[in-house]
Structure formats: C-alpha cells, structure tokens
Amino acid sequence: MFQAAALVTLIYGVLVFLGGLIGYLKAKSKPSLIMGGLFGIALAAAGIAGLQGWRQTPLCGAGLSLFLLAFFGARYARKKKLMPAGMLTGLSFVSVAVNLAAILVEQAPRS
C-alpha cells in the first residue's frame, strides 16, 4: 500500500504541476503557475522520495492533497465548473483516500 501511495502522490504532483502550467498558458494566470508549480513539485518530490523508501510520503501526500481538496472543492461548489475545479477536486479526493489508507495500513497492528 505504501508504494501505491507514493506512486499516486507522484502522478498527482505531475498533474498538478501541468495544470498550473496550462492555467498560465491559457489564462496568463501567474497564481496558477506559482501554486501549481510549488504544490506539484512538492507532491512529486514526496512521491519520488516514497518510492525510494521515505516513510513520511503518505502523511505529506495526504496533507498537501487535503489542502488542495478544500481549495478546489470550495471553488467547485461556488462556480460549478468541471474544469479545472471539479477535476482537481476528484483527483485530490483520490490522493487523500489512497494516502490515508496507506497511513492506516502502516499503523495497523501486526500479528
């Protein structure tokens, strides 16, 4: 489960980074470029570190994804636009769920 969380975090980070870049190219949105770049790089780095054995990846991935879930969920609730807010709300939810599952599996007592 840990490896799955690391891989999901890496893929999600790449998608967030690309989304920020696309937001800048299409709408000239500097906040999209900056925040997409920062969150995307942080998520991708956590995912890569997790694939190399860093045990904090699920916690880091869940925290960053939870922030993005709240941000894009609120934006989707206000504007009701599927792109980008609806899609990123869904992706954020999946990332939070996978990372929390990895945390729970890690914390489960072993017999």
**Is 54 a domain residue?**
yes
Number of domains in the chain: 1
pLDDT at 110: 76
Each residue's pLDDT expressed in tens, for the chain with a length of 111 residues: 889 999 999 999 999 999 999 999 999 999 999 999 999 999 999 999 999 999 999 999 999 999 999 999 999 999 999 988 999 999 999 999 999 999 999 888 876
pLDDT at 78: 97
pLDDT at 111: 67
- Domain range holding 23? 2-105
**Is 110 a domain residue?**
no
DSSP label of 29: -
- Element at 98 (helix H, strand E): helix 87-107
Q: Structure pTM?
A: 0.93
